[in-house]
């Protein structure tokens, strides 16, 4: 079929660049199952360049292990020339995930897991995560609010019960909970670098695959004043420390007396994600209430919007990143629309507002 004709038939064209035939076939099966996506495949960068000359794709998925292959510099030049968003596709070990993380920081918009299992085991949840990531990347290129259709999704009830209508005693210590998605790796770097060493305890959900969050946390920790790590079950939330939810696990903020800590849980996708921002924010409403400051940042969809409203109803102060500094103004826009946001700020002003709120 003519590639230009295929592009007219569907909304987003995805170019899969991977050396493995099995991976290309698996990804093509997953991606093409979504009626809003169409697929082109290439076994190497030089083939990808030839395909792009026939039709410029909206998104490219690129095998991380291809970093040093001949022809990749040419492909990168074409990607930059046409502003094509790139999603890294990686099955590399923890030791190599630093490579992928650096590429994300240098311009790739997201990371997906490279299929390692049979299609029947990999398909169901991966279809949701991979297709949503591709749509998010396409929207980041257009810099607009998403308008794609979505399949039914579970809310935070699937993991944590709703907050009870009772007052939470305010303590002297504030807790900051943050949710971010596409564009969040760079946005979190800017926010956390601006925070002083004695900042309140912070817990973060950044939509990112399993095995990449530990590397992401380690790199942030290397240049921030606050201490940053991937969360482990029962870790305490204390001043000057930041906990980032592990990929593929929900994170719940809990409290015993004056001690805040996190609980990691399995469970279904909530708001199409695991970890889910809605789960974290609901737990902050339930166990922290007026002691919490909520921040919702760049990302596609509405994960975190309902949870942020529950936080505000429990007395929290909530901040949204503004549209001009968001890669995608999906999650912040939905939180604002629902009425869960107290103030909308450009990215570089958020840290200052957090410090101001904590001094009150």
Q: Which residues are catalytic?
A: 181, 207, 303
Asked if residue 308 lies in contact with residue 199, where contact means CB atoms within 8 angstroms, the answer is no
Other beta carbons within 10 angstroms of residue 152's beta carbon come to: 5
What lies within 8 Å, CB to CB, of 222 at 6+ separation is none
CA–CA distance, 180 with 206 (Å, rounded to integer): 5
> Which two tokens mark 229?
């790590």
Q: Which residues contact 142 (CB under 8 A, 6 or more apart)?
A: none
How far, in Å, CA of 87 to CA of 124, rounded?
20
């Amino acid at each position: 079929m003519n590639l230009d004709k295929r592009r007219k038939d569907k909304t987003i064209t995805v170019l899969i660049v991977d050396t493995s035939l099995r991976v290309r076939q698996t990804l093509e099966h997953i991606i093409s199952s979504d009626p809003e996506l169409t697929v082109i495949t290439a076994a190497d960068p030089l083939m990808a360049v030839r395909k792009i000359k026939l039709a410029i794709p909206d998104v490219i998925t690129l095998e991380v292990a291809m970093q040093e292959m001949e022809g990749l510099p040419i492909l990168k030049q074409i990607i930059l020339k046409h502003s094509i968003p790139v999603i890294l596709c990686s099955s590399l070990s923890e030791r190599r995930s630093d490579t992928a993380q650096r590429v994300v920081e240098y311009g790739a918009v997201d990371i997906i897991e490279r299929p390692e299992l049979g299609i029947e085991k990999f398909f169901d949840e991966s279809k949701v995560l991979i297709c949503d990531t591709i749509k998010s990347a396409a929207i980041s290129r257009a810099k607009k609010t998403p308008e794609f259709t979505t399949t039914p999704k579970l809310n935070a009830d699937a993991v944590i019960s709703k907050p009870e209508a009772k007052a939470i005693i305010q303590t002297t210590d504030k807790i900051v909970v943050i949710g971010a998605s596409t564009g969040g790796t760079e946005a979190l770097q800017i926010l956390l670098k601006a925070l002083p060493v004695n900042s309140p305890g912070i817990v973060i959900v950044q939509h990112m695959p399993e095995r990449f969050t530990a590397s992401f946390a380690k790199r942030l920790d290397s240049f921030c004043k606050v201490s940053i790590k991937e969360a482990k079950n029962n870790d305490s939330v204390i001043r000057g420390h930041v906990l980032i939810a592990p990929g593929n696990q929900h994170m719940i903020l809990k409290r015993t007396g004056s001690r805040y800590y996190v609980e990691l849980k399995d469970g279904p996708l909530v708001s199409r994600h695991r970890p889910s921002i809605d789960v974290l924010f609901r737990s902050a409403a339930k166990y922290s209430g007026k002691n919490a400051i909520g921040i919702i940042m760049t990302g596609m969809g509405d994960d975190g919007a309902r949870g942020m409203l529950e936080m505000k109803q429990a007395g929290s102060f909530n901040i949204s990143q503004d549209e001009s500094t968001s890669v995608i103004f999906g999650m912040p826009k939905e939180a604002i629309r629902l009425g869960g946001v107290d103030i909308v700020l450009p990215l570089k002003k958020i840290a200052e507002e957090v410090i101001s709120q904590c001094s009150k």
